């Protein structure tokens, strides 16, 4: 064991796409699905729910409180709760991670909309913008940086937390940790860590790029 290299490249090449459910490529694809679907679902739910919290202010505190309680639970506990309902499937990981994502995104949406200056809203009203048009063309664009900041946190957290699902057999790249630990073989562990970090860095970079494309005025302000 002590004489073995930290990374055996021959093992990686043999197991990258060998057609089995434990192939590295298959685990990576499963990891991507289980990490990004909760973010997509969370964003689709958080946007209208955040708007509702802005419309009815009394709704925000109980909603945020419920999400905070959910977020405080260990991920494995939440996976175990859903296990009795969804069984050993990807849904057992996706659904709890959606709740974790909501705990980050709902405050981000509310804070983003709150950050829109009153004079900007008043100017839009004075120009004849109806509520829906004002929301789509004025308020949401101004709120984009705050919302995307929350989305970046939610995305990286989701990519990381998927690995915990390996303890119930649905952890994507996290299964490499279990395999390496059980066999006292470091290569799967190193590969799993490297791919998860790479996936998180690439995802965060794409969201930063999206923010720059969606807020061109912020670049113009910095160069002015």
d(CA 187, CA 64): 42
- The pLDDT tens digits for 97-150 are 999 999 999 999 998 888 887 887 788 788 877 877 887 778 888 888 899 999
d(CA 185, CA 218): 49
Segments forming the whole domain that contains residue 32: 9-223
Does 4 reside within a domain?
Answer: no
pLDDT at residue number 36: 95
Backbone angles phi, psi at 169, to 5 degrees: 85, 15
Does 3 reside within a domain?
Answer: no
User: For residue 173, what is the domain's CATH number?
Assistant: 1.10.3720.10
The CA-atom distances, in angstroms, between 177 and each of 27, 88, 157, 165, 173 are 12, 19, 18, 11, 8
Q: What is the number of domains present in the chain? A: 1
Question: Of the ranges 14-28, 182-196, 209-223, which one carries the lowest mean pLDDT score?
Answer: 209-223
Does 63 reside within a domain?
Answer: yes
Say if residue 220's pLDDT is above 70. no
């Amino acid at each position: 064991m002590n004489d073995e290299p930290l990374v055996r490249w021959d093992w990686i090449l043999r197991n990258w796409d060998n057609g089995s459910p434990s192939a590295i490529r298959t685990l990576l694809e499963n990891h991507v699905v289980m990490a990004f679907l909760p973010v997509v679902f969370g964003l689709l739910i958080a946007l209208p729910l955040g708007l509702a919290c802005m419309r009815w202010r009394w709704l925000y505190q109980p909603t945020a409180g419920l999400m905070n309680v959910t977020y405080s639970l260990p991920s494995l506990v939440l996976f175990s709760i859903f296990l009795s309902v969804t069984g050993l499937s990807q849904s057992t990981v996706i659904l709890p991670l959606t709740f974790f994502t909501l705990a980050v995104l709902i405050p981000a949406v509310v804070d983003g909309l709150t950050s829109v200056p009153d004079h900007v809203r008043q100017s839009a009203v004075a120009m004849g913008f109806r509520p829906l048009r004002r929301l789509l063309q004025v308020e949401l664009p101004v709120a984009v940086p705050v919302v995307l900041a929350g989305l970046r946190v939610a995305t990286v957290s989701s990519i990381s937390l998927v690995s915990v699902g390996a303890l119930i057999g649905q952890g994507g790249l996290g299964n490499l940790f279990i395999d390496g630990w059980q066999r006292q073989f470091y290569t799967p562990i190193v590969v799993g860590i490297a791919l998860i970090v790479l996936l998180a860095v690439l995802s965060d970079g794409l969201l930063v790029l999206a923010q720059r494309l969606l807020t061109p005025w912020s670049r113009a302000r910095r160069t002015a």
